[in-house]
Amino acid sequence: MATVIPIESAKPATELRPERIGVLLVNLGTPDTADAKGVRVYLKEFLSDPRVIEDQGILWKLILNGIILRTRPARKARDYQKIWNFEKNESPLKTISRSQCEKLAADIADHDHVVVDWAMRYGNPSIASRIEALTAQGCGRLLVVPLYPQYSAATSATVCDEVFRVLATMRAQPTLRVSPPYYDDPDYIEALAVSINAHLKTLPFQPELIVASFHGMPQKYVDKGDPYFAQCHATTDALRKRMELDASKLLLTFQSRFGSDEWLKPYTDKTMERLAKEGVRRIAVVMPGFSADCLETLEEIAQENAEIFKHNGGEQFAAIPCLNDSEPGMDVIRQLVLRELQGWI
C-alpha cells in the first residue's frame, strides 16, 4: 500500500516560492515484477479496495487471503510474462504511461511553470509519492487526470479517494482539480476512428465486423447508479456514427469477469465464441475503455479471445492497439489537460 507523509513530519515554510502547477496522469496499476510475489502484492492492494469489491466483509477477506492470494498470483504472473517489457523489466502499461507523461510535458513545454508527472492507483509510482514530489517542486495547484474515458466508481472515483486521502494528511494542501470523463469528447471519438482506420489499412484481411470490448463490472454496481454502462454505450454510439457503421458491424461487449456475480453483458468471450460458430471468419477488436495497452488488452483480448475465436471456427483476428502514446492519443490527452487548466495558465 502507498505510504503517506504525516502532517507532523512536514517542514515549516520559511519563505514563499513562485507557484507552479502540477498535472498528474493516473492509470489503474501494475505489479512491480512479473512473478507470483509481485502479483500477490498488487492483487492484495487492488482487491482490498471497497470501490473494486464493495463487500469487504469477513467472508470476502477469507476468500481473498485464503484462496485468491494463494492461487491466482502464480497464474496471473504467467499471463504478465507473456506481455512483459523485459528490456525495462516492467509492464507495458508502465512503459506507455511514462511515455504519455514525457510526451505531454514536451507538448506543453511553453508553459514552463507546469510540471507533468504520472502515477498508478495501485502499485508504483504511487499517487502519494507523486503528489509529494509535485508539492516539493512548488506546485500549489494540482490537476489530477484519471486516464479512464468512461467514469466508474471502481476506476475514476477510487483515484479521487486516494488523492483526497493523501491531501487529508497535508497541512499545506494544493488547490485541486480533477478532469472529467471524456467518453463522448469529439477529440477522443475522432482519435479512436483515426486509429482504427489506420490499423485496419495495415491488416492483410478485411474484417467482417468490429467488436468494441470494454472492461466489465458487476451488474449490481450499475443497478446502484454507476454511470459506466451508459457511458460505454455513448462511446460506442458516437464511434458508430463517426465511422458510419451500424450496430451489426460495430458490436459492444464487456470483458474481464471475476467471481460468480452477473456482470455487464454481452460478454466478450461468449460473443467471440458465438460469432465464430455463426460463420464469422474475420474480426477486429478495439478496446475504447483503455487509454493504454495492458494485460487486459494484450493478453486477454489479443491472445485469449483470439484463441477462443479461432477454436470455434474463426480464421483471422486482429486486436487494434489502444491510443497509447500515439499522435492521436496524445492529442486527446493534451486537449483534455489544456481545457482543464483554463484559468490557471
Grid coordinates given for 257: 469477469
Residue whose entry in the numeric block shows the C-alpha cell 484462496: 67
Q: In this model, does residue 145 exceed pLDDT 50?
A: yes
- Binding-site residue numbers for Fe(2+) are 215, 296
Residue whose entry in the numeric block shows the C-alpha cell 466508474: 152
What distances in angstroms separate CA 307 from CA 77, 159, 269, 284, 319, one per listed residue? Answer: 19, 34, 10, 13, 12
Helical axes 186-202 vs 327-340, angle rounded to 10°: 170
pLDDT of residue 16: 57
- Min mean pLDDT across 14-18, 177-181, 310-314 is at 14-18
Domains of the chain: 17-182+328-340 (3.40.50.1400), 186-319 (3.40.50.1400)
Mean pLDDT calculated for residue range 162-171 = 97
Distance CA 192, CA 295 (A): 20
Mean pLDDT calculated for residue range 299-317 = 98
For residue 284, list its beta bridge partners.
210, 318
- Binding-site residue numbers are 215, 296
Confidence class of residue 5 from pLDDT cuts 50, 70 and 90?
A: very low
pLDDT of residue 229: 98
